[in-house]
Amino acid sequence: MYSPSLTLRLTAIFTLIMALACGGISLILYNALRSELVWRDDQTLINRAAQLRQLLEDGAHPASLPLYFNRMVDIRQDILSIRTQHEQNVSINHTGVTLPEMSPTPVSTPPGEQQLHRWVNADQTEASALSLQARSQEGPVTITLARVARERAMMLEQYRQKSILVSLAAILLCAAISPLLIRRGLRAIGRLSQIMAETGSDRLTHTVPLQAIPKELLPLGEALNAMRQRLSTDFIRLTQFADDLAHEIRTPINVLLGQNQVALGHARSTEEYEALLEGNIEELEGLSRLTENILFLARATHHNIKLNKETFLLHDALETLIDFLEPLAEEREMVIELHADGSLTADKMLFQRAIT
């Protein structure tokens, strides 16, 4: 089963985070720019309408308004329509957009965003218009100003394309640089791996240099040092146990070897051979007990002993052991006395082995 490397996983995560961050920032900035441009266009439209109304009230002739209009606007996207009561209409419209029907704002009402009329043209460009009434020396006049936001749409489209390109470049750069930075950051783990790979019986006392690893890996370094310390202690105990075991086994083996070599040096009687065999059996029984004790110690060390717990009288259990040990005690001119009462719940065999 394929398992991607840690570098690949972190690179994918960093790239995804970068993509989300770039996308979110680009979207926020795009909406902020669009809102700002729409607000500026609306304010420009309102201010121009107020200026034209003020010119009429100050005595300007309606027919002269296009002159002022041409000076203050871009005729490629701005529209001006003037209607008088004498049907002397003036229209400047080079956009190809037909103005919808709108209710003009009364003379007493100042122009504002509430009076703006918005719509979307067939080519999906946004447009806004403001119609208001004004007084002039020739009588009431209706002024309609409109703006088709083609330049705004082009600007936003260019901004969107550049944002996408910059975001893609940032994402690709992140995907390219992240593996290098991640590998550089994981060098400490590589050093720890190298140190642990060099671990041997002669290097267990060498600790991991904690000052050479990052703070985040200090718990791992401390755990490795603790493990090395435990291994060193166990290895020393194992070496000592092996030395003791060799010494314990060497003695009966040397006795057996010496007795048999002496016996085979020249012919012996049947009684002498029988005595030799009895001595060999005694030494072999000692080796057997030693082997059982070694196995018992090994299982006890690894907690691999199945306990058969039972309740028994201490006096009876110890009396059985005394019967077994009395011949040895008599050979050494020793006397064993038993003073015990009460009961015990334990593994009877292990209890007797522990006593002996």
Q: Does residue 189 fall inside a structural domain?
A: no
Contact (Cβ atoms closer than 8 angstroms) between residue 210 and residue 221: yes
Regarding whether 145 and 116 lie in a shared domain, the answer is yes
Domain stop point among 305, 327, 346:
305
pLDDT given at position 174: 93
pLDDT given at position 250: 83
- List residues bridging with 128 in a β-sheet: 118, 147
Across 74-83, 126-135, 196-205, 213-222, the highest mean pLDDT is recorded for 126-135
| Number of domains present in the structure of the chain | 3
Regarding whether 321 and 259 lie in a shared domain, the answer is no
Regarding whether 18 and 161 lie in a shared domain, the answer is yes
pLDDT given at position 88: 57
Torsion, CA 23, CA 29, CA 32, CA 33, rounded to 10: -120
pLDDT given at position 252: 80
Regarding whether 31 and 160 lie in a shared domain, the answer is yes
pTM: 0.61
Regarding whether 322 and 278 lie in a shared domain, the answer is no
Give the 3-state secondary structure of residue 244. Answer: helix
Regarding whether 319 and 272 lie in a shared domain, the answer is no
Output 164-172 pairs: Cβ under 8 A, ≥24 positions apart: 164/26, 166/22, 166/26, 167/19, 167/22, 167/23, 167/26, 170/18, 170/22, 171/15, 171/18, 171/19, 171/22
Q: Does residue 184 fall inside a structural domain?
A: no
How far apart are the C-alpha atoms of 275 and 308, rounded to whole Å?
A: 39
Give the 3-state secondary structure of residue 97. Answer: coil
How far apart are the C-alpha atoms of 337 and 331, rounded to whole Å?
A: 16
Domain stop point among 152, 177, 202:
177
31 is in which domain, residue-wise?
Answer: 6-177
Domain stop point among 118, 152, 177:
177
Q: Does residue 64 fall inside a structural domain?
A: yes
Q: With bands split at pLDDT 50, 70 and 90, how would you rate the model's confidence at 87?
A: low
Average pLDDT, the chain: 83
Question: For residue 2, which phi and psi values (nearest 5 degrees)?
Answer: -70, 130
* Nearest to 53, CA basis, from 92, 80, 85: 80
Regarding whether 121 and 255 lie in a shared domain, the answer is no
